[in-house]
Structure 1
Amino acid sequence: MAEIKMNGNHREDLPAGVQVEEIEIPVPWGHVSGRWWGLRNKQPLIAIHGWQDNAGTWDNLIPLLPANTSVLCIDLPGHGLSSPYPPGMVYYIFWDGIVLLRRIAKYFKWQKISLMGHSLGGALSFMYAASFPDDVDRIICIDIASPAVRVPETMVKNTASIIDKNLEYENLSDDKIPCYDYEEMIDIVCDAYKGSVSRENCKVLMKRGMAPAPAHMKKRGYYFKRDPRLKVAGLAMMSIETALEYASKVTCKVLNIRAIPGQKWERLDYYLDVVEKLKKTAKVQYIEVEGTHHVQLNAPENIVNIVEDFLELY
C-alpha cells in the first residue's frame, strides 16, 4: 500500500473531526505525493489540481464537506511534493495525467473511480472518463470542460519555442534558480495569479509550492519546488474536434461548475460546446457560480453545497 505519513513541514489547524495525512505512491520515476482526507477504509474521491498548482488547492474546500467524505488529493508529477520527471523527458500535461490516474487506480486496485478536478485537473477528469467510460462513476470539473483547446495555427506557431525552452529548463544550474525571501515570494505568486487567488490563499498553496533553499545552493531564502519545465508544457494541445470526440465517449455523471468571471477563456464557445456535447451521452449538471478561476480555494463556500449535493445524489 501507499506509504502514509504525517506532514512534518507545517502545523495544520483543522476543524474538529477533520483529519488529513500525507501519502506517497511509488511510480517508476519516484513518487506521487498526496493528501488523504477523511476515512481510510473508504475508497476516496480523487482530486486533481490545476496547472502549476498543487494538492493544497483543496485545503479550504474539503474541510467543509461532511466528515465521512474521503478524498485523495494528489500532486501531479513535478508539482508540489511529487517527484519531477527525470531530465530528458517532456511534460505533455493533459496526456500524462491520464496515464498517472490509470497507474493510481491500478495501484490501489480500484475498479471504478470518481474524480474531481480544477482547471487542468478537471480536464484530466474529463479525458479519463472519456478514455475509460466503464471505469468512472462520476466527475466534478471546476471552471473547465475539456483540455485547453487551441486552433492549429497557434499549436504550430508555438512548437519551436516550446521545444527550445524545454531544453533550456531541463538542466538549470543552481546559480540560475532564483531564491527570494518569504514575503517577496508570496508577492510573486500573487502577481502571477492576477487576482484569482488572494494573498492568504497564495500562502496556502505555497505550503507545498516552495521550500527553503538547500545548503548546496549556497543561497538564502526560498525557491519554487515545481519543475520549471511545466512553464513550457504546451505541446500536444487539443483541437475542438478532438475535444468534442472525447466528450461523445463520456457516460458517467458529470458536474461542471463554471466560475463567473472565472477564467478568461480564449474561446468560451468551445467550453460551452463541449458541455452541450456531454449532455448527449452523460447526465450533466452545469452550474454557474460567482468566483474567480480558483473558486474552490478562494470562495469554497460558493460551491461546497453543490459538490455535497452531487456526491450525495450519486
Structure 2
Amino acid sequence: MDSNNSSAASADLNGASTSTNGNPATTPKTNGNGPCRGDDSWEEITIDVPWGTVAGKWWGPRNRQPVLAFHGWQDNAGTFDRLCPLLPAHIPILCIDLPGHGKSSHYPKGMQYFIFWDGICLIRRIVRLYGWENITLLGHSMGGALTFMYAASFPEEVDKLINIDIAGPTVRGVERMAATTGWALDKFLDYENLPIQKLPCYSYEEMIKLVLDAYDGSVDEESVKVLMRRGMLPVPPEVQKDGFNFVRDLRLKVSLLGMFTMEQVLAYAKQIRCKVLNIRAEPGMNFQNPQFYAEVIETMRKHAKLVIFEKVPGTHHLHLVTPERVAPIISDFILKS
C-alpha cells in the first residue's frame, strides 16, 4: 500500500499511545498539489519497544498508512517540522525519534549503539507492528542511510525511497576502522560511566549558540531552536544546577562502529528495486569520498524501477532551513511517480 491506504493500522493500536500537541489548529496552506497541513497538525506518539519507548510525531490523518521519516545523527524528529507543513495535507507522515535521540528511550547501560543495524531493525519492528506494506520511506543524512539499507534488505516491500543529501551509508576504510576501534570503545565506557552531576549544562542561549557553531553553517538560529524543542531539557533537580542538558545519549558520539566499506554499500545498492528520489544539496555535506555518492546513484539506476536525482541549492539541512525548495519535489514524487 502507499500512504493513501485507508486500511492501514492506526498508531494508537498495538502498543502505541498518542497525545495532541495542545496547540490550536491553523489555517491550511496550499501548494501546487493542493492544501497543505497546518504547522500544528501533528500528534505525539509513543511505541513500546523492549528497552522502553520510541517517540514520534504523526502529521496528518491517522486512518492512512504514513510515510515513515527518519532524521540524521544526533538530530531528532523535529528536523522535519518545517517540511511537513508544506507537503500535501492528505499524506500522513510519521517522523520517528531514533533510539537515544529526542524523546525516545536511551539504551540500557551495557548496550552499544550500532546505529545502522539498529536503525534497520527499528524500521522493521515498526512495519511489522502495524502490518504496513509497500511503504514509503523518507530520510535525511543518517536517516537516509537507514532507509537505503532497509529498502535494500526488503526490496519487495518498499514502494518509494526519498533521501535528502545522502545516497547510502557513509563509507569508512578498513584501515581507519581498525585504527579507531580502541579509542571508540574507551570513549563509550567513559560516557557510560559519566555521573549525571558531570553532564555539561548550559543556559538556553549557550545551548543554541553551541549547536549553531557545531553545525558549522548547515543550520541557522531559528532551525536550531526548532531542533532543540526535542533536543534539550532542564537539568534534573537532583543535580542542583540551573540550565539545560542535551537529551540525546552521549554514547551516540561513538555509535559509528560497524560502518560499511564501499563494496558493501554498492552491493546493497544493487538490491534496491523501488522508486527512488534522491535530493543532493549544493554545497550540502562535504563527504570524504564525494565520487562515491554518484556511484551509488548510478548503481541504483541499473536495478531500481525509477531513480530521480535532483540537485538543489542549500546546506546539508536544506529541508529544515529552506524547506520550500524541496517540498514541491517531494510532493510531486509521492503523488505522481
1: distance between equivalents of 2:232 and 2:203? 11
Q: Does residue 313 in structure 1 map to residue 336 in structure 2?
A: yes
**Change beyond 3 A, Cα 1:15–1:32:** farther
For normalisation by structure 2, the TM-score amounts to 0.91
Q: Which residue of 2 aligns with 1:303?
A: 326
2: distance between equivalents of 1:132 and 1:54? 25
Q: Which residue of 2 aligns with 1:65?
A: 87
Q: Which residue of 2 aligns with 1:288?
A: 311
- Is the partner of 1:128 in helix, strand or coil? helix
Q: Which residue of 1 aligns with 2:296?
A: 274
The structural deviation recorded for 1:53 is: 0.1
Q: Which residue of 2 aligns with 1:124?
A: 146
Equivalences, count = 312
Give the RMSD, CA atoms, in angstroms.
Answer: 1.2
Match of 1:167 among 150, 174, 189: 189
2: distance between equivalents of 1:79 and 1:303? 25
- Is the partner of 1:208 in helix, strand or coil? coil
Match of 2:239 among 217, 234, 238: 217
Deviation per CA, 1:244-293, whole angstroms, max 9, x where unpaired?
Answer: 00000000000000000000000001111111100010110011000000
Deviation per CA, 1:222-264, whole angstroms, max 9, x where unpaired?
Answer: 0000000001112011000000000000000000000000000
Q: Does residue 38 in structure 1 map to residue 60 in structure 2?
A: yes
Between Structure 1 and Structure 2, which shows a larger proportion of helix residues? 1
Q: Which residue of 2 aligns with 1:183?
A: 205
Match of 2:249 among 198, 223, 227: 227
For normalisation by structure 1, the TM-score amounts to 0.97
**Change beyond 3 A, Cα 1:35–1:252:** same
Alignment gaps of 5+ in structure 2: 1-12, 29-36
Match of 1:193 among 215, 223, 245: 215
Q: Percent identity?
A: 54
2: distance between equivalents of 1:175 and 1:200? 30
The structural deviation recorded for 1:14 is: 5.0
Partner amino acid, structure 1, of 2:323: P
2: distance between equivalents of 1:13 and 1:167? 46
Match of 2:229 among 184, 192, 207: 207
- Is the partner of 2:230 in helix, strand or coil? helix
Alignment gaps of 5+ in structure 1: none
Match of 1:154 among 170, 176, 179: 176
Partner amino acid, structure 1, of 2:75: D
8 Å Cα contact 1:140/1:255 also seen in 2: yes
2: distance between equivalents of 1:31 and 1:252? 30
Q: Which residue of 2 aligns with 1:5?
A: 19
